[in-house]
Amino acid sequence: MQALIFADRLGRELEPLTDRTCVALLPVVGKPVLEHVLEALVAAGLRRAVVAISPFAGELRAMIGDGSRWGMRLDYVLTRGEEHPDAVVERCQPRLDGELLALRGDVLHGARLAEFLRLADAVAGPMVYGRASGAPVSLSLHRAGGRGGLELLRWPGAPTAVPPVWPVVELPGAALNRLESLRAYHRANLDAAAGRLPELLAPGRQVALGLTVGLHSRISPRSLRQGVAFVGRHCRIEASAEFHGEVVVADRVIVDRLATLRDSVVLSDTYIGELVEVRNAIVRGNQLLRVDSGTVLSVAETFLLADLREVTLSGTLAEPFNRLLGVILLGLSLPLWPLALAAALTANPRQPLRETRLRGNRLEFDEFGARRRVFSAWEWATSIPVLRYLPRLLAVVSGDLRLVGTEPLTPEQADSRSEEWERLGDQAPAGLIGPTQLTLPGDAPREERLMSDAFYARQRNVGRDLRYLLQGLGTLFTPRAWWAG
């Protein structure tokens, strides 16, 4: 016996998840949907299959290969996408012989294929269909000459009931999920993590009750406060992060300090920011997909959500390294503090240290959502730049500022920006030094400074940040840094 797997859905119903891949390759608890189907076939004793593919055909073939990983032999046939199954069978006819198990490879059947084949073996006729709770499960057995009647596998528009003239076998333990919407995809992941999809194997090991973790991932069992959770490979979950309900985290995900996930699915290469709470949603990169309303939100603030394929460690993810450098520089600067105090007392004996309110990088939340926290930045009352801004090293240590970033703004300056381009600087963290602070004079026009920050935010990378850091250190030995005029 061999299988014919239909994996040629166009996936419009799952957009935007299918703008980068096909439905068959969408992950469910760490594995593509098609991989779960192949594992079920192997468990039922099948070793040969033809896979009908259409969108992202090259990506699918590269990821699945010839089937040798599962001890199978896979062939492929290219379709126009969501073709009628009868037409696909006609095209594959030379490769199909004997009994044929036809099924969709872009839905989760939730049925034990071995059990279906055992029950179907006792039913006479050229075709036998699987059914659960009165509905077909996109699964049928075709004996010699029984190649017609594949309408039940068609997408879209498959019948919701098996015609009475066709023999069926009931599969009471099946839990079909057709992945026909974002809500259904979200539910499939949570059901799989909770063990409500029979025969579906989640990769990884159980490190605590209800917590399954993949290879090379780091998570504290205390993060799972209640419920069940699956964490894929190469993930970093901060110990203070919390999981509630049913949570699925795919591969290469970073969840920052004090973040909270409730009944949510986080897809691969995603960063969840500090203090962020995600509830009843799918997160992919910087996109938040609400499954209750179908709303898709693109988050521009990389301190909330970020796509790790686009954000480098010089961005939102370098916080511990940045604070460590701040501590080192603060220690090296200690000999300058008495000099700064003396200069400030000379300039203003009554108030040598002044407070300035600035908008930093740490987040705070209210009923309107998340925003950057305003913090107190202290300055010595002296016109010597190096001495004046020494206390801002404390803001680097606390995480309110980065060493390298855009020019920090006061709340009034931030709120006064009306044009979209003026807010582009928010895509980068505020910093102690940066191109605007190093290259523009203090009396440069406001528009010029905002343009400089916007350009930096769009072009920043590790190399540029290192150059600005070295340039800032070099500036300490120039007259500009010590000129009190």
- Total structural domains within the chain: 3
Does 195 map to a domain? no
pLDDT for 70-102, tens place per residue?
A: 999 999 999 999 998 888 988 887 778 788 999
Give the whole-number percent of the chain exceeding pLDDT 90.
61
Burial 288-311 (b: 16+ CB within 10 A, else e): bbbbeeeeeeebebbbbbbbbeeb
Decide if pLDDT at 312 tops 80.
no
Out of 151-155, 337-341, 372-376, pick the least confident. 151-155
Top pLDDT among 199 and 227 is at: 227
Cα–Cα dist 212/200, whole Å: 14
Could you give the dihedral angle defined by the CA atoms of residues 374, 432, 254 and 369, in that order, rounded to the nearest 10 degrees? 20
Q: Same structural domain for residues 114 and 79?
A: yes
Same domain for 165 and 213, yes or no, is: no
Q: 189 in a domain, yes or no? A: no
Please check whether residue 180 lies inside any domain of the structure.
no
Task: Kindly tell me if the per-residue pLDDT of 112 is higher than 50.
Answer: yes
Please indicate, yes or no, whether residues 392 and 429 belong to a single structural domain of this protein. yes
- Average pLDDT of the segment spanning 285-300: 89
Q: Which residues lie below 8 Å from residue 140, measured CB to CB, with a gap of 6+?
A: 101, 102, 103, 127, 128, 129, 130, 149, 150, 152, 153
Summarize pLDDT for 124-182 with one digit per residue, the tens: 888 898 888 778 888 899 987 666 668 788 888 766 676 777 788 998 878 889 999 99
> Are residues 90 and 131 both part of a single domain?
yes
CA angle (288, 20, 73) in 5-degree steps = 125
Query: Using an 8 Å Cβ cutoff, are 231 and 219 in contact?
Result: yes
Question: Per-residue pLDDT tens for 50-71?
Answer: 999 999 999 999 999 999 999 9
Percentage of residues of the chain with pLDDT beyond 70: 94
In this structure, is residue 337 part of a structural domain?
yes
Structure-token pair, residue 475: 């500036």
Alpha-carbon gap, residue 196 to 188, rounded angstroms = 9
Burial class (CB in 10 A: 0-12, 13-18, 19+), 438: middle
Q: Which residue has the tokens 């582009």?
A: 424
Report yes or no on 178 lying in a domain: no
CA distance 212 to 221: 10
**Structure-block tokens of residue 180:** 């026909």
- Which pLDDT does position 250 carry in this prediction? 97
Give dist(CA 293, CA 280) in Å, integer.
10
C-alpha 133/C-alpha 128 separation (Å) is 16
CATH number at residue 164: 3.90.550.10
- Helices marked H in 272-318 — which ranges? none
- The residue ranking higher by pLDDT, 109 or 117, is 117
Domain that holds residue 237: 203-307
For residues 218 and 232, the answer to whether their CB atoms sit within 8 Å is no
Instruction: Report if residue 329 sits inside a domain.
Output: yes
Q: State the pLDDT at residue 318.
A: 63
The answer to the question of residue 397 being in a domain is yes
pLDDT one-digit tens code per residue, 452-479: 999 898 888 888 888 999 998 898 888 8
Q: What is the pLDDT of residues 405-458, one digit of tens each?
A: 999 999 999 989 988 788 888 888 899 999 999 988 888 898 999 999 998 988
Element (H, E) at 403: strand 402-404
- 7 has a pLDDT exceeding 90: yes
Does residue 253 sit in the same domain as residue 391?
no
**Residue range 182-202: mean pLDDT, rounded:** 92
293 contacts 218 by C-beta, under 8 angstroms: no
pTM above 0.75, yes or no: no
Looking at the structure, tell me whether residues 79 and 160 fall in a common domain: yes
Domain boundary residue, one of 145, 170, 195: 170
Kindly state whether residues 326 and 376 are assigned to the same domain: yes
301 and 347 part of one domain: no
Domain membership of residue 198 (yes or no) is no
Tokens of 194: 């909770």
Q: Which of 307, 337, 364 is the last residue of a domain?
A: 307
Domain's final residue, options 120, 145, 170: 170
Q: Place 370 in a pLDDT band, splitting at 50, 70 and 90.
A: low
Whether residue 423 sits in one domain with residue 350: yes
Q: Are residues 151 and 67 in the same domain?
A: yes
Q: 266: domain CATH number?
A: 2.160.10
Whether residues 241 and 345 share a domain: the answer is: no
| Residue 342 and residue 419 in one domain | yes
